[in-house]
């Protein structure tokens, strides 16, 4: 969630108006509804209750949501939508139906996974035919890490972010400079 929230804030500062992402569910209204539910204080209380009962995180998450979300892209989609709603950003979330595996490195005509595209970028291969025209920004991972590092160092309470449990915030702050 920290990564998604930071990404959305950066994209908002870049004045984007649409955020496209892959989703197996491919239903913006349901994804938005689930994001809104996670922003509700009762969600945190319910999630904590299930975790305290010894239920694993994915199952507790689904129980607290009242909806089964178990694919990485749908979970990431919700993580993108939450800061848009929370901050009132003028960004329209747009879902693209996932048709292949999450990290699939095989080619299916002109459809490839994001992992496949990242691998091709790392290998200095042309990716133009695999992405919608005008829909890619070059990613400088060193710069992005420095932005994330700044957020970790300057944020007073990292525990407010989903999955940053007690102790993890201190560990992040301790090792971020290493």
**What is the model's pLDDT at position 88?**
96
Query: Percent of the chain at pLDDT above 90?
Result: 36
* Digit-coded pLDDT (tens) for 74-91: 999 999 999 999 999 999
> Would the pLDDT of 140 be above 80?
no
Three-state helix/strand/coil letters over the chain: CHHHHHHHHHHHHCCCCEEEEEECCCCHHHHHHHHHHHHCHHHHHHHHHHHHCCCCHHHHHHHHHCCCCCCHHHHHHHHHHHHHHHHCCCCEEEEEECCCCCCCCCCECCECCHHHHHHHHHCCCCCHHHCCCCCCCCCCHHHHHHHHHHHHHHCCCHHHCCCCCCCHHHHHHHHCCC
For residues 5 and 161, the answer to whether their CB atoms sit within 8 Å is: yes
Instruction: Report the pLDDT averaged over residues 49-61.
Output: 91
* Digit-coded pLDDT (tens) for 97-113: 876 554 455 555 566 77
**What is the model's pLDDT at position 119?**
82
> Would the pLDDT of 162 be above 70?
no
Instruction: Report the pLDDT averaged over residues 101-129.
Output: 70
**What is the model's pLDDT at position 120?**
82
Cα–Cα distance for residue pair 110/175, rounded to 1 Å: 41
**What is the model's pLDDT at position 107?**
53
User: Which distant-in-sequence residues (6+ apart) come within 8 Å of 134 by Cβ?
Assistant: none
Instruction: Report the pLDDT averaged over residues 120-142.
Output: 73
């Amino acid at each position: 969630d920290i990564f998604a929230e930071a990404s959305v804030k950066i994209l908002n500062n870049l004045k984007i108006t649409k955020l496209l992402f892959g989703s197996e569910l491919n239903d913006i209204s349901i994804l938005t509804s689930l994001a809104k539910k996670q922003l509700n204080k009762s969600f945190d209380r319910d999630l904590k209750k299930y975790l305290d009962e010894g239920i694993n995180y994915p199952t507790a998450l689904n129980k607290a949501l009242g909806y089964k979300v178990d694919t990485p892209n749908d979970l990431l989609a919700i993580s993108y939508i939450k800061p848009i709603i929370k901050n009132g950003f003028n960004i329209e979330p747009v879902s693209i139906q996932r048709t292949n595996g999450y990290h699939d490195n095989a080619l299916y005509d002109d459809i490839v996974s994001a992992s496949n595209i990242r691998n091709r970028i790392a290998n200095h291969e042309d990716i133009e035919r695999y992405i919608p025209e005008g829909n890619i920004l070059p990613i400088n991972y060193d710069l992005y890490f420095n932005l994330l590092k700044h957020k970790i160092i300057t944020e007073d309470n990292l525990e407010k972010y989903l999955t940053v449990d007690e102790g993890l915030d201190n560990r992040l702050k301790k090792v971020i400079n290493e």
